[in-house]
Amino acid sequence: MLVLFTKLKLGRWFLYLFALLWLVPLLWVAVTAFRPKQIALSPGFSLEFTLQNFATVWFAAPFSQYYFNTVIIVICVFGVQMVTATMAAFAFARVGFAGKPIVLLLFLVQMMVPADVLIFPNYMVLKELELLDTKLGIMLPYFASAFGIFLLRQMFMTIPPELDEAAAMEGCSKWSILWRIYFPLARPSYIAFGLVSVSYQWNNFVWPLIVTNSVENRPLTVGLAIFAQSYEIGAQWTEVSAATLLVIAPLMAGFLLFQRQFMNSFIHSGIK
């Protein structure tokens, strides 16, 4: 028993060590972003801090437009995904139709296909539809989510079918059963799916970089890359660090505020 306890304690210390190593780059970016340019890369500890770096970054690039674009993309993609994934998951869980196992298998296979493989065909489709360099063009390939369908389908399968029968006896249609019974009961799964969807779209870089050319449609990730590339020529690490912190701050704040809900939602959704 003592040996097992010792091993668990050592394992916990190793986790703390890895967490500390993971935090080192983040702490360096945070400290550099608040330090004056003259002493940013100098060795030693200093109590001099400034907000001038953030002001310089905010006015040097259209970050307000980048924020607006990103928020629109994140909200619209998750809103459409929630509707499409809910209806598809309900169909796979409670509606019988010919070939359902095969169709479900095809959806699951899509989860194993890397997104980079679909860049060229998706680009050609958007070109035919004349949706290049538009917010809709960025969002369109993500309106359906195989992960969301699978996650919600697994949750819907745990709901007793007797609730469907009782609601049907009261005169509810399948549409009413879905949105009045299944949708409220699957709240933990929606939280889990929402966290994954929002974080993925917020950090999405390659696809928006390929399909956008104008400031009016660039998200934060692309804007940060262009800004950092222009500033790295002069080694302006304080400005680059401040811009990076501006981009990652909302996600970091959201995770710190909803950390417990984040973990509980995945546990209740059956993801170990």
Q: Is the pLDDT of residue 4 over 60?
A: no
Is residue 12 classed as helix, strand or coil in its secondary structure? helix
Q: Is residue 1 part of a domain?
A: no
- Residue 261: the pLDDT is 64
Q: How far apart are CA 149 and CA 68, in angstroms?
A: 28
Residue span of the structural domain in which 142 resides: 62-268
Instruction: Give the pLDDT band (50/70/90) at residue 143.
Output: very high
Domains held by the chain: number: 1
Q: With respect to residue 115, please indicate whether it lies within any of the assigned structural domains.
A: yes
Is residue 25 in a domain? no
| 151 neighbors 192 (Cβ within 8 angstroms) | yes
Residue 16 lies in a domain: no
pLDDT at 113: 81
In a domain, 170, yes or no: yes
The tokens for 81 are 């995904």
C-alpha 51/C-alpha 102 separation (Å) is 57
Does residue 48 form part of some domain?
no
One-letter identity of residue 21: L
* Tokens found for residue 76: 């619209």
For the purposes of burial, counting CB atoms within 10 Å of the CB of 150, is it exposed (0-12), middle (13-18) or buried (19 or more)?
A: buried
Non-local (6+) Cβ contacts of 54 within 8 A are 33, 242, 245, 246
The Cα 175–Cα 164 span in angstroms is: 11
Alpha-carbon distance of 199 to 250, in angstroms, equals: 10
Opening angle at CA 168, ends 164 and 173, nearest 5 = 100
pLDDT in tens, 168-223: 888 888 888 888 889 888 888 888 888 889 999 999 999 999 999 998 999 999 99
Considering the domain boundaries, does residue 19 fall inside one?
no
pLDDT number for residue 266: 59
Share of the chain above pLDDT 70, in %: 86
Q: Is residue 205 part of a domain?
A: yes
Whole-prediction pTM: 0.85
Most confident of 11-20, 109-118, 145-154: 145-154
For the residues 42-48, what does the mean pLDDT come to? 70
- CATH number, domain at 216? 1.10.3720.10
